[in-house]
Copies of this chain bind each other. A is one copy, B any other.
Amino acid sequence: MAGELTLRINLDSTVPAYRQIVEGLRILLVNGKLAPESELPSVRRMALDLGVHFNTVAEAYRTLAEEGWLHLHHGRSARVVFRDVPDPTMDQMDEFGRRLRTLIAEMLAKGIPADKLTAEMHAAAEGLES
């Protein structure tokens, strides 16, 4: 892992740093960019690199540990563990469609053209299919 983790957060964003760290790392974990057995930077290192409080990183690591992605050691270091894919509930199966429609409505309201949204969705779908 040393020095290879590319995680950027935007401290000016309205999205809390904690959530940006969790979501950014989760993308890397889902895509296998952070593979089982690899070590994440220590909480202190990551906090320094990102310019956030120690506790913000510690809380993000704890959240991902609860989701089964990380094994924490004394709350300071974190190792990626092999994670079984859970069986989603029926409600979770429907959640994506609901949240996607909500996101689309929000973007249309902001004036993003529909063809831009469809292009992004087709690209994302292709990425999943390959």
* Identical copies of this chain, number: 2
Q: List 26 A-B contacts (CB under 8 A).
A: A23-B106, A26-B105, A30-B109, A67-B109, A69-B109, A86-B110, A88-B111, A88-B112, A92-B107, A92-B111, A93-B116, A95-B107, A96-B107, A96-B112, A96-B116, A100-B103, A100-B120, A100-B121, A103-B103, A104-B124, A104-B128, A115-B128, A118-B128, A118-B129, A121-B122, A121-B125
Contacts of A67 in B (CB 8 A): 109
- Binding site of A, secondary structure by majority: helix, strand, loop or mixed? helix
Number of interface residues of A (CB under 8 A): 44
Q: A27-B105, A105-B26 are in contact. Are A111 and B129 (CB under 8 A)?
A: no
